[in-house]
Structures are given as C-alpha cells and as structure tokens.
Structure 1
Amino acid sequence: MDINIFEQFFNLFSYATLLSIALTILATWLMLFGIRWLIDSLVNYNPKYRIQLSQTYPVIRVALWLISILYIVLGIIHPPQSVIYASLGSLGLALGLASQDAIRNLVAGVMMAISPRFKIGDMIQVGEHYGEVISLDLSTTKLHTFDDNVITVPNADILKMPISNANNGELNEMVAIDLHLPVSIPVSQLKSIALNAAKCSYYVYLKKPISATVFPVFERDFYYHLKVKAYVLDVRLEKAMATDIAERIIEALQEKQLFIGSVFTNNAPPLENLK
C-alpha cells in the first residue's frame, strides 16, 4: 500500500507539471515585482500617503502566494486523497521535529496579523533597536534604523517584548530635542528662542503643538536642561528636524551673546571667528 502511494506521488510530477509549476511561481513573482514598483511609484508621486500605500503590499503578497499555492496544488497537480494525506502527515512530522522555532515565529506572525501592534511605516522600539518597520513577514519583522542598517527580528521575540510605537500609523510623530545649557541664560529668553527655532524649522508639522520646558539640573555644577517637543512632517526626517532645531537654538544664543560669561565660552574663539 505504501509503495503504491509513493508511486502515485512521483507519477504526479511529470515534466509538463513541473514546467507549469515553475511558470506559475515565476508569474506570481513578476506580479509582485510589478505591484511593488507601482506602489513605490505612487509613494514617490504622493509621499503624503506613503504609509497607507506601503501597508497594502504585505497583504497583497500573502494573498497572491496563497492563491498561487492553491492553484498549483488543486489546478495543476490534482493529487489523489491518499497522496494528500501522506504528504500532510510527512510534512507535519518534519515541521514538528525540525522547525519548532520557525513554527513559533509563524504562529506569532499569524497572531500579529490578527491583532496588529504596529504597521509598515511605524517607528518602533524593539529592545535596543529603534527604526522604521519596512517589512512584515509571517516569521520576521524588519526595521530600518537611522544608522542605515536593516534589523531582522523574529516574530516570536516581538510577541513577548514591550513595543514602543512612536507614530502609530500616522506620517508625523513627536520628537523630543534635549539640550544642556548654562544657567546664565534667562529662562524666558531661552524658552522664547527654543519655540521660535522650532516654528521656523522646515521639518516641523505646525498643525500640532510645540512645547519647550526648562528645568535645572545639578551634576558637578548647575545647568539648564532644555527639552523641546515638536511633531515632524515625516518620520524619516526625525533626526534632520532634531539637528535643525538644535542648530537654530545655538546660533540664536550666539547671536544674542547669551553664552558670554558661561563655562561654554571659556578658552573659546570670538564669535566673529566662528562665522
């Protein structure tokens, strides 16, 4: 009986059948490549909807591959029930023994798809890694960090970790800029300069509030800890906005000569030499 099952199994895969399977896989891959190119073109044409457009690709990819697999099994191979049962039994045993971690990641991926904690385009913190979600597979999640690295995290690990989501599906997100400044600077002037610097930045989303807080800190000596909070237009411009606002604040303080007499100007060249 077992010999007959294996003979039926091998008889199913003729050269014509294998060629049809290869062509189906190739056609699916080409369709996904075209869809990805179309989505990227739409994103470049209208960056405002980058996150919404990017989130459609994982769903389309999973759906196309499922349809392709079903078509190969039911439309091309046409296996008898005995071969199906034998294949499923062998496949289940192999997966159970050799792919326990992979199964955990797949189950975690399915659970994350049913109850998503983040989406494509979200800026999340996973352990020590912080970056933009660029890929959501059934087994892994990929992050693109500001150091231009791609971090691949198994879904089973993500499921048991606390996740910090900075923008939660929106294109903008809050960014905090921290500066340590001398206490010789008047607090009212410092807050005014900080707010104006944030409002003048090219990267700030002005439809949401901007705040600046100042509080003293003692660490060997007193200094002010300035924290500016503003929303960036696009999550990918987070570091650019933080740098721009910090530079504007420092330049404004230098122009008003509010650093003079502080430890920040000891042994420093005159301001005119810095221009």
Structure 2
Amino acid sequence: MNQSRTMSLRILRLPAVVMLGLLSLSACGSSSGSSDEAAKPATVAPVEGLYNNGVDALNARRFATADDQFNAVEQNYPYSSWAVNAQLMSGYSLYLQNRYTDAIGTLDRFIQLHPAHRDIAYAYYLRALCYYEQIADIQRDQKGTEQAMNALREVVSRFPDTTYARDAKLKVDLCFDHLAGKEMEIGRFYQKQHLYEAAIGRFQRVVDDFQTTNHVPEALARLTEIYLALGLKDQARKTASVLGYNYPGSLWYGDSYAQLVDDGVAPTGNSPTEAARRGFFSRAWHAVF
C-alpha cells in the first residue's frame, strides 16, 4: 500500500481541526524501516504492512486490531520512523476509545522522546483533548477542569499560530465558564443554608476572577440579595449599581432593582431601565470606584 493511500485512509475518521495534524503523519517511505526489516525473521510482516493495517483497522473502528498493529511496529521496528508515527497513532486510538489516562501516558512519552517532531503540536493538542474530555459536571470536583485548562493554554502558548491554538482558545473559555459555574453552584448552596459569609466569598470570586463569563450578572444579583438580607443596604445599593452599569437589560438587574425598591433603597415609580437612564445607578457606580 503506497504512502498516499496511507494518508487518505487516515483522514477519513478525523475532525477538521485534527486532520491538519495528521496529514503529514505517514512515514517517510518504506525504505526508512529497511534496516530493521533486514534483521527480522521472515515471520514478521514488513513494517509498512503493519502500520497500514493499523490505519485500516483504526478507520474501521477495530481498535484492538489497530492497537496490536501499532504496537507490533514499535516492538519489531523500534528505530524506524514508522515506529515514531505508530506511537502517535496509538495515542489517537486510545483517545477514540475514551481511554484517556492511557492516551495521556502514550502522548507524554511521545512528547518527551520526540520534542522536535513535525507533528509535536498535534501531540500536545491531543493530550489537551484527553484532559478536556474528562471534565466533570459542576456537581463534582473541578481538578480535571483546571488540568484541561492548563493543557489547552500550553497548546496556545507553544503553538500560537496553529489551528490547534485557535480551537484550544475556545475550549479554554468553556473551561473558564465551567469553573465559574462551579463557584456559583457552591455559592447558591451556601446561600440556601444562610451561610452568607461563605456565599459572599464564592459570588465575589466569580465577579473578580471570572469577569468574562455569563455568570457575573447572577453573582452580582445574589450579592445584592444577601446584603439586603443582612441589612447592609448601602453595600447592596453599590453592588446593584455595578450590575445596572454593566448589565442594564438583564433579568438579574430587574430582579435586584425590584428588591431595592421593596427595601426602600431605590426610588419607586421608575422601571430599572428608566432609573439607569436617569443616573441613579451610574451615580452609585462612581461612589463605588
């Protein structure tokens, strides 16, 4: 099977962002493993045949066969360029099987042994995806989310002008939003338990550390609600001013304004939008800063 067939088979199963990294993954030619082949018994298949059988099996989602073929390449032709490529393909095969821990181990070994490989950017990206796919829901510990975010940021910093970096940036934003969601989930729990100091800490962290996420309006509204519950009307007014200044059309702002009216902190007879236009909250904003 020639080299061009190897590439065409391989890209059948890959998403567009991954495809770019593996277009160049084929070994440099059957001659690259010739010295290894010469030393092998007649019962061992040629290196090119083993590698291409692995690619065929991977495209057919016969993962056990693909793993066996790629492992055979590494074991029988360890000094060939085919073995290097087989190692990276093994990592991809493990990723497709959701065997993320095994995939990370294989990719770490590839990165350590071949730091100058032409597909090293793809190896880092695939490793980051393995962490990303393991992100737990917000009810669970978020250590995996932080690991994924760190791995994705490494892709961005090491390979800033690649397609991998562009996709990694998008996934970093999703990780960031996920972490903010976890803080909100914990904060809401504390608020329901009337553990206001702990709740304030969580909501304030969202405001301070996750400013680009869509959780900030709710965090400000809940802070306003807690300050009113504690009788801290001035603090509630100032917090609501930040909410009104930055998110004047949000439902959270409307709810907070209604609460301030009920507590006699905001003037009655105006809608939240009218109050913002008249400068009530903008004056409070300047009082905060």
TM-score clears 0.5: no
**TM-score, scaled relative to structure 2:** 0.30
Structure with bigger RCO (C-alpha 8 Å, 6+ apart): 1
**TM-score, scaled relative to structure 1:** 0.31
